[in-house]
């Protein structure tokens, strides 16, 4: 088989795309989870993330997190320039390991919550939020 | 420098011992993210509240770290357990070094 110039171009382009795709996803946002867990992969568990499915205005999106017994919960927005959003540490006078606040989202993306439990394990959950700026659909 | 910063907190006035109460806090602050540009293309420097804490009679209720993705006028709602009467202390830490404080007392029967 003879390799034409056109074939070579297509192969090069394909290879570049394959190489770039996973890198862009993992480098920023997944790294933020790993920085919090110290490299441990968080599992499933009793953690709830309350966020709207569709947010009309990405500038103020109400989100709530709840993980009974958790010592610390972080919220990450995977599609933001900086994925970190908030970090809640619950003290001895806390009534429940839950909190809610309002956050900014740059666009339609996954919002992730990771909780650190007293035994040192980590659990996470995520929800996709569609952001419809100007009402043109996400 | 942030101007016109005004903290507001909502705590029930009374509760029964051992109750879990909901506390709502809001502080007016523009929370400039540091990602925006003005019309000349210059980056507007970051100016946010980066930490919020709440203590009840010296014991920590919540210690929150805020990043630029927190909305303007940061609103936080959380729960506290009260076993005795006392005072809630709320503290916000600004990027510019300012510290804003508020306090609310509660009577526990």
Q: Could you write out the DSSP letters of every residue in B58-106?
A: TEEEEEEEE-TTBPSS-EEEEEEEESS-EEEEEEEEETTS-EEEEEEEE
* B80 has pLDDT over 70: yes
| Between A10 and A102, residue with greater pLDDT | A102
Distance from CA of B89 to the nearest CA of A (A): 12
Nearest C-alpha in B relative to A102: B71
Residues in chain B with CB shorter than 8 Å from the CB of A79 are none
- Which residue ranges make up each domain of chain B? 6-108
B61 touching A, CB under 8 A? yes
Query: Rounded distance, CA A125 to CA B40, Å?
Result: 41
Q: Dihedrals φ, ψ of B85, to 5°?
A: -65, 155
Asked whether the CA dihedral B51, B46, B24, A61 is positive or negative, the reply is negative
A99 touching B, CB under 8 A? yes
User: What's the pLDDT at B9?
Assistant: 93
pTM for this model (two decimals): 0.80
- CATH for B6-108 is 2.60.40.10
Architecture of domain A5-131: Sandwich (2.60)
Say how many Å lie between the first and final Cα of chain B, rounded: 43
Mean pLDDT computed over A26-35:
73
Q: What is the dihedral of CA A83, A105, B49, A31, to 10 degrees?
A: 0
Q: Is A108 exposed, middle or buried (0-12, 13-18, 19+ CB in 10 A)?
A: middle
* A27 has pLDDT over 80: no
* A6 has pLDDT over 60: yes
B68 touching A, CB under 8 A? yes
What is the predicted ipTM?
0.88
């Amino acid at each position: 088989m003879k390799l034409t110039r056109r074939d070579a171009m297509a192969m090069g382009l394909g290879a570049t795309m394959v190489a770039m795709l996973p890198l862009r996803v993992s480098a920023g946002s997944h790294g933020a989870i790993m920085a919090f867990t110290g490299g441990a992969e968080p599992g499933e568990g009793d953690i709830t993330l309350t966020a709207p499915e569709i947010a009309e205005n990405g500038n103020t999106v109400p989100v709530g997190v709840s993980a009974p017994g958790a010592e610390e919960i972080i919220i990450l927005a995977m599609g933001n320039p900086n994925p970190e959003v908030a970090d809640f540490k619950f003290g001895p006078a806390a009534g429940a390991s839950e909190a809610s606040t309002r956050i900014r989202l740059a666009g339609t993306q996954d919002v992730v919550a990771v909780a650190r439990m007293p035994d040192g394990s980590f659990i996470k959950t995520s929800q996709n939020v569609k952001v419809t700026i100007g009402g043109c659909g996400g | 420098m942030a101007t016109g910063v005004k903290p507001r907190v909502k705590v029930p006035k009374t509760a029964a011992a051992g109750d879990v109460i909901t506390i709502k806090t809001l502080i007016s602050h523009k929370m400039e993210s540091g990602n925006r540009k003005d019309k000349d293309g210059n980056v507007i420097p970051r100016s946010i509240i980066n930490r919020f804490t709440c203590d009840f009679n010296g014991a920590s209720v919540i210690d929150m770290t805020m990043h630029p993705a927190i909305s303007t006028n940061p609103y936080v709602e959380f729960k506290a357990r009260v076993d005795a009467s006392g005072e809630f202390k709320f503290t916000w830490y600004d990027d510019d070094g300012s510290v804003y404080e508020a306090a609310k007392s509660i009577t526990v029967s």
